[in-house]
């Protein structure tokens, strides 16, 4: 469904070129939940921005739902972002002057397509994510977890092919983080959503079907979860993930500083 092939991206400063992505290959299948992890500077955010067509890239290709994105004009790219991609950000990006329900409907409001089907889907999403009781409240009056569940619901209002999530649990406590990840799970189960998530959070990543580790702009490793790993507590997959992260960090001591990936101290050993 999403295919990224031989992706290269560099940034220029004066006469110097600094490569950030160095031949990335990856894919996301229908209904798959995939995470990308890596130290700061590994290329995670650049990769997400290339997929969402916010920045150009030099080499390679990106296709979404059989449609090649490179070479599209801005109007066509805006259509892809609005109709085929859903976005969830670390900072929620809710509009303070709109209620929770209105924030969920915002993509349809922008399109001027707030018809009965959109109204019904908004009500369904409010119920699905357990936020129907705050539908008429404003962002300032709800918790961080409720804000992010609202953002997840908003990302689904256009029934996109893919949700792009950028550090969706970064500003949340552990309880709220789990609630948000469970919202992604429910979106996949009930609505057939596919999710591509950039995260530093090994706990959140342990819920995924696959975790792609980036280092220095290249795919360092890809970990596949065991069948039924969610039902058995995800402990074995989490342990494998933490081991792979430690090995990646140990290869270069500079990655063990503040920008590296570290498990939360309360969750050492990968156990619940």
- pLDDT digit string, tens, across residues 210-230: 999 999 999 999 999 988 777
- For the beta sheet containing 2-13, the strands, ordered from the edge strand earlier in sequence to the opposite edge, are 16-28, 2-13, 59-64, 67-68
- pLDDT digit string, tens, across residues 78-113: 889 988 999 999 999 999 999 999 999 999 998 888
| pTM for the whole structure | 0.89
* Alpha carbon distance 200, 65 (integer Å): 27
* Alpha carbon distance 263, 261 (integer Å): 7
- pLDDT digit string, tens, across residues 42-72: 999 999 999 998 999 999 999 999 999 988 9
* Alpha carbon distance 268, 115 (integer Å): 49
The structure tokens listed for 158 are 């256009």
- pLDDT digit string, tens, across residues 250-261: 876 544 444 455
pLDDT for position 235: 85
pLDDT for position 221: 96
pLDDT for position 271: 37
pLDDT for position 113: 87
């Amino acid at each position: 469904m999403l295919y990224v092939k031989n992706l290269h991206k560099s940034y220029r400063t004066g006469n110097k070129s600094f490569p950030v992505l160095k031949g990335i290959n990856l894919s996301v299948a229908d209904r798959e939940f995939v995470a990308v992890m890596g130290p700061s500077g590994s290329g995670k955010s650049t990769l997400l921005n290339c997929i969402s067509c916010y920045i150009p890239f030099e080499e390679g290709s990106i296709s979404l739902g059989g449609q090649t994105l490179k070479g599209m004009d801005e109007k066509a790219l805006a259509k892809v972002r609005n109709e085929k991609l859903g976005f969830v950000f670390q900072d929620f990006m809710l509009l303070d002057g709109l209620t929770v329900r209105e924030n969920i409907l915002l993509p349809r409001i922008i399109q001027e397509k707030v018809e009965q089907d959109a109204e019904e889907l908004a009500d369904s999403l409010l119920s699905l994510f357990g936020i129907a009781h705050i539908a008429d409240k404003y962002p300032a009056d709800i918790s961080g977890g409720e804000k992010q569940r609202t953002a997840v619901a908003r990302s689904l209002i256009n029934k996109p092919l893919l949700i792009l999530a950028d550090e969706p649990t970064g500003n949340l406590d552990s309880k709220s983080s789990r609630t948000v990840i469970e919202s992604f799970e429910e979106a996949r189960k009930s609505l057939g959503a596919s999710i591509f998530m950039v995260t530093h959070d090994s706990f959140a990543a342990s819920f995924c079907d696959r975790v792609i580790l980036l280092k220095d702009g290249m795919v360092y490793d890809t970990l596949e979860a065991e069948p039924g790993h969610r039902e058995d507590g995800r402990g074995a997959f989490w342990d494998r993930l933490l081991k792979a992260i430690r090995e990646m960090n140990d290869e270069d001591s500079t990655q063990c500083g503040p920008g590296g990936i570290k498990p939360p101290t309360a969750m050492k050993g990968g156990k619940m």
